[in-house]
């Protein structure tokens, strides 16, 4: 499993539009083969700071998502206005923190 996580920053005036578009992308991404979860949350609206948290079955599933038309179009529209540090991590031995 891959975990993709980090933070993004957009100009605060652009935050509502970014959140709306990111929400549409998240809805599409959650339906993709290999997606385990896909979430974006506003951490600080005044600063335009967001948290990104995704889980993918494997590198092939993540790569397919990144190549998909919706993903490419989203990045193209926001390139230059979104900054941040989002990284992928291998997580082969994950386990729940608490029993559910």
Q: What is the pLDDT of residues 36-60, one digit of tens each?
A: 999 999 999 999 999 999 999 999 9
What single DSSP character describes residue 20? H
pLDDT at 98 over 90: no
Residue 30 belongs to domain with CATH number: 3.30.70.100
The answer to whether residue 98 is domain-embedded is: no
Say if 48 falls within a structural domain: yes
Is the confidence at residue 100, as pLDDT, over 70? no
Residue 65 has pLDDT above 70, yes or no: yes
Its domain, for residue 38, covers 2-90
Please give the average per-residue pLDDT across 66-80, as a whole number.
Answer: 96
pTM of the model: 0.89
Overall domain count for the chain = 1
27: in domain: yes
Task: Judge whether 100 lies within some domain.
Answer: no
Whether the per-residue pLDDT at 5 is higher than 70: the answer is yes
Q: Could you tell me which of 39, 57, 65, 63 has the C-alpha nearest to residue 2?
A: 57
Asked if the structure places residue 99 within a domain, the reply is no
In a domain, 30, yes or no: yes
């Amino acid at each position: 499993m891959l975990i993709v996580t980090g933070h993004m920053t957009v100009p605060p005036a652009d935050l509502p539009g970014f959140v709306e578009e990111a929400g549409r992308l998240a809805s599409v991404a959650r339906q993709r083969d290999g997606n385990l979860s896909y979430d974006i949350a506003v951490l600080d609206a005044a600063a335009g700071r967001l948290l990104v948290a995704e889980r993918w079955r494997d590198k092939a599933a993540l790569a397919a998502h990144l190549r998909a038309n919706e993903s490419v179009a989203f990045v193209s529209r926001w390139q230059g206005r979104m900054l941040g540090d989002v990284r992928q991590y291998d997580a082969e031995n994950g386990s729940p923190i608490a029993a559910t």
